[in-house]
Amino acid sequence: METIFTTENLYNLLSGRIPSAFNRALLNQFKANGINLTKEQWSILAVLWKKDGCSQQVLADETYRDKPSITRLIDHLEKEGLAERRPDKKDRRLNLIFLTEQGRSLEEGAMKVVDQTVNSAVRDIDPEVIQLVRDTFIRIYNNLETKK
């Protein structure tokens, strides 16, 4: 295989430096706007704002986390008063997760900040290039999932 890339170059691309920087920036913007959320909490809320009342397993699938991680994130959201568990009446194995009024009220402000941060990150970059980057990442993801 002939490429102009060293393993190290590619590793840096794949290993997550940019996402770290992005997540840091997002967190700072939250803080600067008086929104008291970790990026993990926000990622859960982002699902609930669309699918209020879904199960923990759905949250795990949507946010690419395992079940224990969700258990603890929900614990934390409950403690903060942003969401609550309610047992499913039909299937008693399930917890359904509902936003509280407070959890709902964060949506507008948080989404505005995410929007600004995302747009700031990709400013001056050709949308077609962004599209290509996305497509490439999907291919990489599939390559990783389907092993070698």
Residues found near DNA in the complex (CB under 7 A): 20, 23-24, 27-28, 38, 40-41, 55-57, 60, 65-76, 85, 90-96
Q: CB–CB of 84/100 below 8 Å? A: yes
- From start to end of the chain, where are the E strands? 54-55, 83-87, 95-99
Interface with a copy of itself, residue 141, by CB under 8 A: yes
Task: Tell the smallest beta-carbon distance from residue 23 to DNA (Å).
Answer: 7
Scanning 39-47, 53-61, 70-78, 94-102 for contacts with a copy of itself by CB under 8 A, the matching segment is 39-47
Distance of CA 140 to the CA centre of its chain: 19
Beta carbons within 10 angstroms of residue 99's beta carbon: 19
Task: From the list a copy of itself, DNA, none, pick the one residue 93 interacts with, judged by a Cβ distance below 5 to 8 Å according to partner type.
Answer: DNA
